[in-house]
A and B are shown apart, each in its own frame.
Chain A
Amino acid sequence: MKLVEINGLTVSFSQYGGDVAAVRGVSFHLNEGESLGIVGESGSGKSVTCMALLRLLGANAKIGAKSMILDGVNVLDADAEGLAQLRGRSAAMIFQDPMTAFDPVFTIGHQIAETIRAHRKTAKRVAWAEAEQLLLRVEIKNAKDVLNYYPHQLSGGMLQRAMIAMALSCRPKVLIADEPTTALDVTIQAQILQLIKKVQAEFGMALIMITHDLGVIAETVDRVLVMYGGEVMEEGWVQDIFDAPKHSYTQTLLASLKAGATKPDDTGEVDDTAVPALELRGLSKTYRVHQGQGLSRKYADFRAVRTVDLVLPRNKIVGLVGESGSGKTTTGMMALRLTEPSGGQILVDGSDISMLEPAALKGFRRRMQVVFQDSYSALDPMMTLAQIVAEPLHIHGITPGKQQTETALDWLEKVGLDRNFGQRYPHELSGGQRQRVAIARALILGPSVLVADEPTSALDVTVKAQIIGLLKQLQREMGLSMLFISHDLGTVRTLTDTVVVMYRGRVVEQAPTAQIFENPQHPYTRALLDAIPASNPRDKRHRTFLSAADIDAATPRYTVIQTGMAPNAAPQLVSIAPNHLVEAVVTT
């Protein structure tokens, strides 16, 4: 029986006097218990379609359809009360960013219980007891405590679990998941996807999975809808779409996914005798945090980064990977001295810059540049692109005034933008275009070191592939040494020469890229690699997840003979192959 049936849906938004069409004639259906994936990039209309199904769009949205049936009710005719009945009970939704999806001033328990009581007349006590049961079903172990927590007290992964519990609270017939893992770490993403599949089976629900990530589609759904520009490009069984995509857009999407499987071209051996472009020695960062309350206030040290050693050879790309909170961004920012290190040395071309005064540092700043994740907040909104790109020249007083603009325009061309973009402002550009501007600004000084902090994680898949291509090309042309900070292992695999894995402020493994992907030694590296979504539905599998305690317990052990080091119960980095270091315990 058909649970959802949408026929010829159109949605347009009235903006500044005109109408912008977001969805143009989309039709699809969903059977009970079925899993449907809707894939497309931002602006393709995939979220808007599902928001329209529950009539969650704002007053400036105009919705039209031949028919739009949800659970036997024509949604377009429903009044406010009818809609409230459908929402939560016929279809429940989970959203992208769990951190902003809960009301910050109420406890988790209150918000789940309130959902139950909005649809069923039950006593408060009963609703809370039910909420606890739901939290247990989404594998939250300390459910009783979590009920009384406020949203800010939980991590993103835990909040997304609680969100799923809340969605389940009225036994919906279809669960709509709108990019449910995009804001989460890769290991957490795999856990949440598996949880969604589990509860879908347990509760016998249908599922609509909205995502830009084909890996997520491969892992979770039976049938796929590919959307582009507000229209359905292609529809079919997931295996057919992956094996034989008919539409050219689908082929492009799949190609950007497959690019993850090709190996980087080997640019030869590293010259060990040359001075590396950047070297970090025992770099650490400790933050002071408040503990305790009242008069007995205490300070504790939070060691965000503990003694990291890292070598960035000339003309190479080193990937720095790890989950959020692992200290990878802090390390990158310390390398540039944008965050002051608590200890250790930073060697640029062999000279230590960790203690330099600002005036002395300025010369080195020219050699080290950075590209950030969020290109929107990294560009001054009040400056034109030409001014933005030319600013570093101005700061370092390199070329005379008039020529600065010319050089900036040349660089806009070099990163694939038209020269007449020089007069535009950042808000007129797309995310990908803005990131190109940020790259131009970073490279206009001809630096030797570039730190790229998650430069593509805010971008769509196809755009991401273009930016990676651009970075790769410029790196080769300019002989750049690049520190590429990312949690996206697919990109790291295609781009980098060496991978450094960070976990809880430490480097736990470091090896040439090919080697680390083929032969990971540390349990955390394995967990990271295992969590990468399948690139084909055939490869999807059940995963077991390691807790932090499991990872600590599984620290590799090597003997004195294997490593040539003295026995030590505390884990330390040991060399197990040429250029392959892993954190391990050395035993006798």
Chain B
Amino acid sequence: MIAFILRRLVSIAVTFIVVSLIIFLMMHAIPGGPFDGHDMPLSDAVRAKLMARLGLDQPLHVQYLNYMWGVLHFDFGVPYQSPGDTIIGLLSRAWIPSLVLGGAGVLIGAPLGVLLGMAAALNRNTWIDYLASTFATLGLTIPVFVISLMLILVFAVWLNWLPASGWGKPERWILPIIAYAAIPLATYARYTRSAMLDTLNRPFVTVLRAKGLSERRIIFQHVLRNSAIPLVTVFLPMFIGTATGSIFVEAMFRVPGLGSYFVSSIEKRDYPLEMALMLMITMMYCLAYLFSDIVYALLNPRIRAGGKP
């Protein structure tokens, strides 16, 4: 197990470097630079001076190495958008709303999805199943900004129950959390349904019934545990998926979170911020998959207990 983790850590480091290179090159492949804006034109001399100060006049590979050297020391540089700040400082502030809303969305959506999936699987081919499956399909196929719009329309505009946007008071959180929950709920409902149906069809379930176990015990202890293995492995990556989901949800609900920076950093050629965001997502995905694999191994005795003794 330790060797497995070590090997994975090495491959994560390689992934990290490869991804950082690709992002860096793509970022600079976009024509234009950070000071080409037309709203506030700069003279050539000023621009050249700025570029020199930020090191943007140096060859690309030097820029890349300089930046990565900083990353190694947890120095992600200074965002061009707000030079008085550091990227670490900016992200740690912007992270909070995204984490609270997205995290709550997953933590509420995933268990509800499991319940919905179980209800569908245990009542296969009945109206419960059809209803749950329709619900799950809608949750996955309707874009999150449409869901957000509908939520705002129904609960804020028509019913006037909840505020439509903003951050701060908890009642402002409710609608974005529901929007965030849609995808985990739908995904989990579908995963759970198919995993449970697969398990229910396996011969050992008949054996459990023939032993005289109660149906409740069969479902909750045996079937659920066997079905849980694939469910656990998608949990963490889904959590991180909310980071990119935030682009739309936060824009719709005007939450001052991470989402807006994904777009503005590219638009404004804010190279350090763009790199920092992408590297952060990459690292989180790598670690999430590593962690999922470890949990998977722990849940599955075939891997945990090795082969034949």
Q: Interface on A for B, CB 8 Å cutoff?
A: 51, 54, 56, 80, 83-89, 92-93, 95, 97, 100-106, 114-115, 118-119, 145, 149-150, 152-154, 163, 166, 170, 293-295, 297
Are A97 and B203 within 8 A (Cβ)? Answer: yes
Are A105 and B212 within 8 A (Cβ)? Answer: no
Knowing A100-B202, A150-B305, say if A118 contacts B211 (CB, 8 Å): yes
Compute how far the CA of A105 lies from the CA of B210 in the bound complex, rounded to whole angstroms.
Answer: 19
Q: Interface on B for A, CB 8 Å cutoff?
A: 1-3, 6, 202-204, 206-215, 217, 222, 225-226, 229, 299-302, 305-309
Please tell me which one of the listed residues A51, A97, A153, A166 contacts residue B211 in the complex, with CB atoms under 8 A apart: A166
Compute how far the CA of A152 lies from the CA of B212 in the bound complex, rounded to whole angstroms.
Answer: 24
Measured CB to CB, the closest approach of chain A to B211, in angstroms, equals 5
Contact partners of A106 in chain B: CB under 8 A: 222
Are A101 and B207 within 8 A (Cβ)? Answer: yes
Compute how far the CA of A27 lies from the CA of B211 in the bound complex, rounded to whole angstroms.
Answer: 25
Measured CB to CB, the closest approach of chain B to A225, in angstroms, equals 21
Knowing A84-B212, A101-B203, A118-B214, say if A153 contacts B299 (CB, 8 Å): no
Knowing A84-B212, A88-B210, A101-B204, say if A294 contacts B2 (CB, 8 Å): yes
Knowing A101-B203, A149-B309, A153-B309, say if A87 contacts B211 (CB, 8 Å): yes
Contact partners of A84 in chain B: CB under 8 A: 212-214
Are B300 and A95 within 8 A (Cβ)? Answer: no
Contact partners of B305 in chain A: CB under 8 A: 150, 153
Knowing A294-B2, A295-B2, say if A105 contacts B225 (CB, 8 Å): yes
Knowing A293-B3, A293-B306, A295-B2, say if A88 contacts B207 (CB, 8 Å): no
Contact partners of A154 in chain B: CB under 8 A: 308
Which chain A residue has the least Cβ–Cβ distance from B300?
Answer: A105
Are B2 and A87 within 8 A (Cβ)? Answer: no
Can you list 25 A-B contacts with CB-CB less than 8 angstroms, sorted by A residue number?
A56-B206, A83-B212, A84-B213, A85-B212, A86-B212, A87-B209, A87-B211, A87-B212, A89-B212, A93-B210, A95-B203, A100-B204, A101-B203, A103-B208, A103-B222, A105-B226, A105-B301, A115-B213, A118-B211, A119-B212, A149-B309, A152-B302, A153-B308, A293-B1, A295-B3
Compute how far the CA of A170 lies from the CA of B307 in the bound complex, rounded to whole angstroms.
Answer: 31
Q: Which 5 A-B pairs have the closest CB atoms?
A: A88-B212, A87-B212, A150-B301, A93-B210, A100-B203
Compute how far the CA of A54 lies from the CA of B1 in the bound complex, rounded to whole angstroms.
Answer: 44
Measured CB to CB, the closest approach of chain A to B222, in angstroms, equals 5
Which chain B residue has the least Cβ–Cβ distance from A101?
Answer: B207
Which chain A residue has the least Cβ–Cβ distance from B216?
Answer: A80
Contact partners of B306 in chain A: CB under 8 A: 293
Contact partners of A163 in chain B: CB under 8 A: 207
Compute how far the CA of A119 lies from the CA of B2 in the bound complex, rounded to whole angstroms.
Answer: 42
Are B1 and A294 within 8 A (Cβ)? Answer: yes
Interface SS majority for chain B: helix
Compute how far the CA of A101 lies from the CA of B215 in the bound complex, rounded to whole angstroms.
Answer: 17
Contact partners of B203 in chain A: CB under 8 A: 95, 97, 100-101
Compute how far the CA of A583 lies from the CA of B301 in the bound complex, rounded to whole angstroms.
Answer: 40
Compute how far the CA of A153 lies from the CA of B215 in the bound complex, rounded to whole angstroms.
Answer: 27
Are A118 and B213 within 8 A (Cβ)? Answer: yes
Are A115 and B309 within 8 A (Cβ)? Answer: no
Knowing A95-B206, A101-B204, A105-B225, say if A297 contacts B211 (CB, 8 Å): no
Compute how far the CA of A293 lies from the CA of B213 in the bound complex, rounded to whole angstroms.
Answer: 38
Contact partners of A80 in chain B: CB under 8 A: 214-215
Contact partners of B222 in chain A: CB under 8 A: 103, 106
Are A114 and B300 within 8 A (Cβ)? Answer: no
Contact partners of B212 in chain A: CB under 8 A: 83-89, 115, 118-119, 170
Contact partners of A105 in chain B: CB under 8 A: 225-226, 229, 299-301
Which chain B residue has the least Cβ–Cβ distance from A60?
Answer: B125
Measured CB to CB, the closest approach of chain A to B17, in angstroms, equals 24
Contact partners of B213 in chain A: CB under 8 A: 84, 114-115, 118
Are B215 and A92 within 8 A (Cβ)? Answer: no
Compute how far the CA of A83 lies from the CA of B212 in the bound complex, rounded to whole angstroms.
Answer: 7
Contact partners of A86 in chain B: CB under 8 A: 212
Contact partners of B202 in chain A: CB under 8 A: 100
Are B226 and A104 within 8 A (Cβ)? Answer: yes
Compute how far the CA of A152 lies from the CA of B301 in the bound complex, rounded to whole angstroms.
Answer: 8
Which chain A residue has the least Cβ–Cβ distance from B304?
Answer: A150
Are A118 and B217 within 8 A (Cβ)? Answer: yes
Compute how far the CA of A495 lies from the CA of B278 in the bound complex, rounded to whole angstroms.
Answer: 68
Which chain B residue has the least Cβ–Cβ distance from A148?
Answer: B305
Compute how far the CA of A51 lies from the CA of B2 in the bound complex, rounded to whole angstroms.
Answer: 47
Are A104 and B302 within 8 A (Cβ)? Answer: yes
Compute how far the CA of A150 lies from the CA of B299 in the bound complex, rounded to whole angstroms.
Answer: 12
Contact partners of B2 in chain A: CB under 8 A: 294-295
Compute how far the CA of A115 lies from the CA of B302 in the bound complex, rounded to whole angstroms.
Answer: 23
Please tell me which one of the listed residues A54, A100, A101, A150 contacts residue B302 in the complex, with CB atoms under 8 A apart: A150
Measured CB to CB, the closest approach of chain A to B62, in angstroms, equals 38
Measured CB to CB, the closest approach of chain A to B135, in angstroms, equals 23
Contact partners of A114 in chain B: CB under 8 A: 211, 213
Contact partners of A54 in chain B: CB under 8 A: 209-210
Compute how far the CA of A298 lies from the CA of B206 in the bound complex, rounded to whole angstroms.
Answer: 40
Compute how far the CA of A42 lies from the CA of B215 in the bound complex, rounded to whole angstroms.
Answer: 29
Measured CB to CB, the closest approach of chain A to B295, in angstroms, equals 14
Which chain B residue has the least Cβ–Cβ distance from A85?
Answer: B212
Measured CB to CB, the closest approach of chain B to A160, in angstroms, equals 12
Compute how far the CA of A371 lies from the CA of B67 in the bound complex, rounded to whole angstroms.
Answer: 62
Compute how far the CA of A95 lies from the CA of B6 in the bound complex, rounded to whole angstroms.
Answer: 43
Contact partners of A295 in chain B: CB under 8 A: 2-3, 6
Given A97-B203, A294-B2, 16 extra CB contacts under 8 A: A56-B210, A88-B210, A101-B203, A103-B204, A103-B208, A105-B229, A105-B301, A114-B213, A118-B211, A150-B301, A150-B302, A153-B307, A153-B308, A154-B308, A170-B212, A297-B3
Compute how far the CA of A3 lies from the CA of B212 in the bound complex, rounded to whole angstroms.
Answer: 18
* Of listed B203, B210, B225, residue having the most chain A CB within 10 A: B210
Compute how far the CA of A56 lies from the CA of B210 in the bound complex, rounded to whole angstroms.
Answer: 7
Compute how far the CA of A155 lies from the CA of B255 in the bound complex, rounded to whole angstroms.
Answer: 59
Contact partners of B206 in chain A: CB under 8 A: 51, 56, 95
Compute how far the CA of A154 lies from the CA of B309 in the bound complex, rounded to whole angstroms.
Answer: 9
Please tell me which one of the listed residues A56, A97, A149 contacts residue B209 in the complex, with CB atoms under 8 A apart: A56
